[in-house]
């Protein structure tokens, strides 16, 4: 079962939030907080770490 948490980089005032579930073996799930039923993106752990590192350097 995914354990969702709000991204630490999400802006709570603007409503532009994503939630991440990284407690599942072999995958990381991402969804829009405003539209939880709207779909989920799935990343492998290596792809997710690469994305996060890139976002940190260009954010």
The confidence score (pLDDT) of residue 14 equals: 66
- Going from the C-alpha of 50 to that of each of 2, 5, 28, 35, 47, the distances in angstroms are 21, 19, 12, 25, 5
Phi, psi values for residue 53, rounded to 5° = -65, -40
The confidence score (pLDDT) of residue 40 equals: 96
pTM (2 decimals)?
0.80
**Which tops the pLDDT comparison, 59 or 41?**
41
27-39 pLDDT tens trace: 999 999 888 889 9
Instruction: Note the residue count of the chain.
Output: 59
CB 18 within 8 A of CB 25: no
Q: What percentage of the chain has pLDDT greater than the value 70?
A: 86
């Amino acid at each position: 079962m995914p354990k969702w948490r709000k991204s630490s980089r999400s802006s709570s005032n603007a409503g532009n939030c994503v939630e991440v579930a990284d407690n599942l073996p072999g995958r990381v799930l991402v969804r829009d907080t405003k539209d939880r039923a709207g779909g989920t993106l799935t990343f492998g752990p290596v792809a997710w770490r690469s994305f996060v590192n890139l976002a940190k350097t260009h954010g």
